[in-house]
A and B are shown apart, each in its own frame.
Chain A
């Protein structure tokens, strides 16, 4: 099968949906003339024109609030945040308005929006550009959160997100944009809320999302080769809704769990999953559930230190071996 990059897969998904539905348009900073700050939308202005690919000033609260308003009237904006860290200047729109509009109107309104962009650290850009707010956003009823790790999932999930009638916050990773993966030529969707077992194993379950899945897969190979530990890697793909069944099925098989995320530890995604495992798989566990998160401080600038602050292969191996 052909291999294309995560970035190209996203572009294919976006393009297919733009061609499928006249109400879909892309809006954001540098998405059109500049061809995208991370080139996800490269070539799309030339192909689809300025009605469908809309450049905005640096004005996140303004254009995201505008997109929410437009979605109330039936449009389907796909709004790009150059970094998800910039969500905070649009927080009132993204949290208060997008999540509550349907509720406060007693179900008279729905907001079919997608807000997408990279949400990751590890790129040597300092704390303000390295936030991973998937846990904070998933805390808000009314919103959906997805974090694809591969090009295949990115394409299938962006298409599902655009077709979804609820707000979907779609978190990518700048370190994954260039990563190739097998992606079929024919059209497909990946349903939101379905996890994927990316590696089958019997000794330990690693649950991860986003780029941590890729790191966990590398760590799993080394754990197999050097420590004879057969690791199963569960890729969440979606944070809310959450595929609890796939997580629990894996833990019931391996009896051990390590939860890996780039998020900070306090109330991170792993905290929710840890609660799930103790509630649903208490008698299946042979050891306490372990969590591996970013070291609990703002993202450090210094490059060699930041590579240690976020989960890496060495930290995952060490954590995996520490699960009793």
Chain B
């Protein structure tokens, strides 16, 4: 479906991404840490899926399995004043931003110890103290919010950037295009990262985008820089995001970055058609040839940095962490009935903070 004559001048630097300065400078243990972060996300989600199927987690659960290199690669190059915001497939970004498996798993279980006290669920993990601003459920709805993070940085004179992730299904939403226009018009330090996994729920790109070239090329309509990268190589992700970060930090200019990736599972756990709108062979091909963990593991083995024994060790460590998180979540209490009306208004949560008068909640009776 792609045009045969793509303009590769806009794509990330070609050649060996291993030699890109941002990757070349990595020490052996830092490379292993990148691999570990990807494994950690996968183990968390595999365990969460088990818990879901066991009836311990309800609602929507959108697995990131297959896409881990995108969150890990991009967030690994962030600096202290860079901020992250994403859509509902948010477990990977949350964990990579430094959130614990315990608080995330407990949130999936709807427990009071969850990162959002059981009020957000899978799609709404937050950790603003770690520069991680959610976790947003409405397709494209987070794209103006991300713009606001970048606007605030510029307003305050802070050298930083906002990384705002979206799926390929979000590129046809109006709010996204409004955001692109404002980002470029006002020269805001934002990087929009389209994680293009080929399907918006069950609708393939061919059935959703009239534009047959790279989705990111739509940036040209807004006089914005753009690039395309392959997402299965965590080094390629790091290199392309670093280029965009430099542009944001040094020139306060936005970038629209498209990263090709793939999800093995359905749109959500509830997607019973995950193997109907695409072929089994397509899924198997990615798993065999482009799985980001397998690819990077092999690279590190080839470089003499990693052994099978070390891999097994970190794999088991991540698995144990996910098991412990399930135990923590299962043993945690549910939120209290009183807590339903907490965290609604800032002022009603402050013991002495009430500045308004009058009635603010309106039930005649509550249990």
A positions within 8 Å CB-CB of B:
25, 51, 56-57, 59, 61-75, 92-93, 96-97, 101-110, 112, 141-142, 144, 160, 163-166, 191-195, 238, 240-245, 272, 279
Contact = CB atoms under 8 A, between A and B. Distances in A.
Contact of B145 (A57, A69, A103): A69
Interface in B82-106: 83, 85
Interface stretch (B61-69, B116-124, B204-212): B116-124
Interface in B321-351: 342-347, 349
A135 B37 CA distance: 48
Nearest to B85: A69
Given A66-B145, A241-B358, 16 more contacts: A62-B175, A65-B147, A66-B151, A66-B179, A70-B148, A72-B148, A72-B149, A73-B148, A75-B156, A93-B145, A96-B137, A103-B119, A106-B114, A164-B355, A241-B360, A244-B359
Nearest to B121: A104
Given A65-B179, A96-B141, A238-B358, A104 B126 contact: yes
Contacts, number: 191
Contacts of A240: 360
Contacts of A243: 357-359
B346 A165 contact: yes
Given A166-B347, A194-B358, A69 B147 contact: yes
Contacts of B152: 69-70, 72-75
Contacts of A112: 346
A105, A108, A164, A192 pick with most chain B CB within 10 angstroms = A105
Contacts of B146: 69
Contacts of A105: 116, 120, 124, 126, 128, 134, 343
B138, B144, B152, B343 pick with most chain A CB within 10 angstroms = B144
B143 interface: yes
Contact of A67 (B83, B124, B148, B347): B148
22 contacts: A25-B155, A62-B144, A65-B147, A66-B145, A66-B182, A72-B152, A93-B175, A103-B344, A104-B120, A105-B343, A108-B116, A108-B129, A110-B346, A141-B344, A141-B345, A191-B355, A192-B358, A194-B358, A240-B360, A243-B357, A243-B359, A245-B358
A240 B342 CA distance: 17
Nearest to B115: A106
A141 to B, nearest CB: 5
A67 B343 CA distance: 21
A107 B362 contact: no
Given A61-B178, A106-B115, A193-B360, A68 B355 contact: no
Given A191-B356, A192-B357, A241-B359, A104 B134 contact: yes
Interface in B42-95: 83, 85
Nearest to B147: A66
Given A62-B178, A104-B119, A241-B359, A70 B149 contact: yes
Nearest to B107: A106
B274 interface: no
Contact of A166 (B116, B134, B145, B345): B345
Contacts of A163: 355
Contact of A65 (B120, B135, B141, B353): B141
A84 B3 CA distance: 44
A122 B12 CA distance: 57
Contacts of B357: 191-194, 241, 243
Contact of B116 (A74, A106, A238, A241): A106
B191 to A, nearest CB: 15
B301 interface: no
Contact of B343 (A51, A59, A70, A106): A106
Contacts of A70: 148-149, 151-152, 155
A220 to B, nearest CB: 24
Contacts of B175: 61-62, 65, 92-93
Given A191-B356, A241-B357, A92 B138 contact: yes
A69 B181 CA distance: 16
A26 B316 CA distance: 53
A273 B356 CA distance: 19
A101 B152 CA distance: 17
A99 to B, nearest CB: 9
Interface in B201-234: none
A55 B153 CA distance: 19
Contacts of B114: 106
Given A61-B174, A96-B138, A110-B346, A69 B182 contact: no
B181 to A, nearest CB: 7
B343 A102 contact: yes
Given A59-B181, A73-B148, A102 B346 contact: yes
Contacts of A71: 148
B364 interface: yes
A108 B128 contact: yes
Contact of B345 (A66, A96, A142, A194): A142
A62 B156 CA distance: 20
Contact of A69 (B151, B356, B361): B151
Contacts of A241: 356-360
A65, A92, A144 pick with most chain B CB within 10 angstroms = A65
A107 B147 contact: no
B151 A102 contact: no
A108 B129 CA distance: 9
B235 interface: no
A97 B145 contact: yes
B126 A69 contact: no
Given A105-B126, A109-B126, A59 B178 contact: yes
Nearest to A25: B155
Contact of A104 (B124, B129, B178): B124
Nearest to B179: A62
Contacts of B356: 144, 160, 164, 191-193, 238, 241
A64 B148 CA distance: 9
A112 B345 CA distance: 11
B26 interface: no
A194 to B, nearest CB: 5
Nearest to B158: A73
B296 interface: no
